[in-house]
Amino acid sequence: MRLMMWQAAEQTRNQRLRMNKTAKLEIDGKVYELPIVIGTEGERAIDISTLRRDTGYITLDDGYANTGSCLSRITFIDGEKGILRYRGIPIEDLAHNSTFVEVAYLIIYGELPNQKQLKRFSDLLTQNENLHEDMKFHFEGFPYNAHPMAILSSMINASSCFYLDLRGPYDPKRFEVEAARIISQVRTIAAFSYRKSLGLPIIYPKPTNKYTANFLHMMFSEPYQEYPLQPEVVRALDLIFLLHADHEQNCSTATTRFIASSQANLFACAAAGVCALWGPLHGGANQAVIEMLQQILETGDDGSKFITEVKDKKSGKKLMGFGHRVYKHYDPRAKIIKQRCDQLLKVLHREDPLLDIAKRLEQAALNDSYFIERKLYPNVDFYSGIIMRAIGIPLEMFTVIFAIGRMPGWIANCREIMESSDSRIYRPRQIYMGQTERPYVPIEERT
């Protein structure tokens, strides 16, 4: 019965996609009709896939702020209302009831796993948690102070060298193992790179540990003593991973889709996603927020001076962790993380002056016309660093934590492309603004 209801709903959905509404475009006196696509949540788009063929024109949209690159069934965001859902389930429900591993399965395969499916997925994560032993030599090659995002991206690709069956047409069975292997190993690579940066012995994963607990074990245990796993700490980090798991066509996810569209393997897609995420305007913002708060603390500013500087464009300063291309309201993830900050610090009997500064900055910004007019609110990165500091994650690892969390989202988006029989290579056009045709000038004639 449920399957029939789902099929009927799917049919309605597809009908909505094919609604025969059109948009009219007039160019040089000629009117062209372009199909309108309506998504299951009422989002509307003008399908321009035949525009160049019919009109000779292309569109131009710097930063793709107005351009939909694909039809996707994974994540829905309503930026005006501050809504985020993974496969239709609100992020608030998942944050309250689920775990990162269960959400990873949901995002990749489309449904919450039953007991049998969850056990199989967890077992695959355990079976694939170790790196090939020869990977140790790669770690030796990095300088001790190499940024862990550089190590992460290169080691994901290095790991792929040990699995020769990566190529070939999409095979669900092979995909299932590869997906689990990358999600599991990204955690191991991250922990190993942290240990190497401090000259500490590598701590291997323990098969009896669950995903997030194992990461903390590999990061902070010693050969002579186990890291004491506090449930609140494990749960707080698991929540950070869960909240970062996907976010529709953000910069790094769009990057992984580009790579998947050329039919490169899943490891190559994941390694590219890490590189895109590294930027301070994207995943690097969580590190930049803490650096900003530390600087404010050190100057003795209560935050008001910094806010004044941010509003003066000449300063070039931004309120890191604020603003978003899609959210023009409070990022729902930021709300959840902010609550968890207070809870965790209370449980750990700790205070963090940076949290107090962050809260003061938030209050000031939310009541300041500069931010209100530009609809700038806290995003996922504004408070996440406070939790990571409380857990003892070093600043340089903050974006690595984001990458571990986002891995299921990247993999799910790549799967959407790999599964689609009619997917095409991503190849945007451009408008050329360079020199018009001119002759080659021999060097002796050049001034």
Helix (H) or strand (E) holding 45: strand 44-46
Q: Does 278 bind ligand SDX (CB under 6 A)?
A: no
In the complex, the smallest distance separating the C-beta of residue 272 from ligand SDX, rounded to whole angstroms, is 15
Sheet holding 30-38, edge to edge: 22-27, 30-38, 44-46
Task: Draw the binding track, 166-185, toward ligand SDX (x: CB under 6 A; -: no contact).
Answer: --------------------
The answer to whether 396 and 388 have CB atoms below 8 angstroms apart is no
Contacts of 287 (CB under 8 A, 6+ apart): 280, 385, 395, 396, 398, 399
Number of residues in contact with ligand SDX under rule CB under 6 A: 21
Shortest separation between residue 175's beta carbon and ligand SDX, angstroms? 23
Q: Does 379 bind ligand SDX (CB under 6 A)?
A: yes
Q: Which of 274, 320, 336, 391 is in the footprint of ligand SDX by CB under 6 A? A: 320
CB of 273 to ligand SDX, least distance (A): 10
For residue 200, what is the DSSP state? Answer: P
Q: Which of residues 326-345 bind ligand SDX (CB under 6 A)?
A: 326
Terminal alpha carbon distance of the chain: 80
The partner residues of 222 in beta bridges, in order of sequence, read 225
Smallest gap from residue 64 Cβ to ligand SDX (A): 10
Residue 362 interacting with ligand SDX (CB under 6 A):
no
Q: Is the dihedral of CA 341, 343, 346, 348 positive or negative?
A: negative
Nearer to ligand SDX, 113 or 321 (CB): 321
- Residue 250 interacts with ligand SDX (CB under 6 A)? yes
> Least CB distance from residue 84 to ligand SDX, whole Å?
9
Tell me, residue by residue from 381 to 400, as one string, x for binding to ligand SDX by CB under 6 A and - for no binding.
x-------------------
Closest CB to ligand SDX among 232 and 301?
A: 301
Which residue from 87, 147, 181, 324 is in contact with ligand SDX, where contact means CB under 6 A? 324
The only residue of 101, 218, 376, 387 in contact with ligand SDX, by rule CB under 6 A: 376
Position 75 contacts ligand SDX (CB under 6 A): no
Output 270 or 320, the one with its CB closest to ligand SDX: 320
Cα 263 to Cα 257: distance, rounded to the nearest angstrom: 10
Query: Which of 253, 285, 286 lies closest to 272 in space, CA to CA?
Result: 253
Q: At a CB cut-off of 8 Å and minimum separation 6, what does 69 contact?
A: 249, 254, 257, 426
**Residue 323 Cβ vs ligand SDX, minimum distance, rounded to whole Å:** 2
Among 19, 60, 161, 281, binds ligand SDX (CB under 6 A): 281
Residue closest to ligand SDX (Cβ): 323
Which residues are marked as active site? Answer: 324, 381
Backbone angles phi, psi at 351, to 5 degrees: -125, 155
The helix/strand/coil state of 332 is helix
Reported as type and span, the H/E element at residue 13 is helix 2-17
Q: Please, which residues have CB within 8 angstroms of residue 318's CB and are 6 or more apart in sequence?
A: 310
71 neighbors 95 (Cβ within 8 angstroms):
no
Taking CB under 6 A as the criterion, the residue among 21, 119, 305, 374 binding ligand SDX is 374
Q: E-strand spans in 81-145?
A: 83-86, 89-90
Reported residue count of the chain is: 447
Angstrom distance (rounded) from CA 416 to CA 175: 12
Out of 73, 120, 235, 325, the residue judged to bind ligand SDX by CB under 6 A: 325
CA angle 157/86/42 to nearest 5° reads 120
**Of 87, 181, 187, 247, which lies in the binding site for ligand SDX, with binding defined by CB under 6 A?**
247
Residue placing its CB nearer to ligand SDX in the complex, 166 or 326: 326
User: Footprint of ligand SDX on this chain (CB under 6 A)?
Assistant: 63, 247, 250, 281-282, 285, 310, 318-326, 374, 376, 379-381
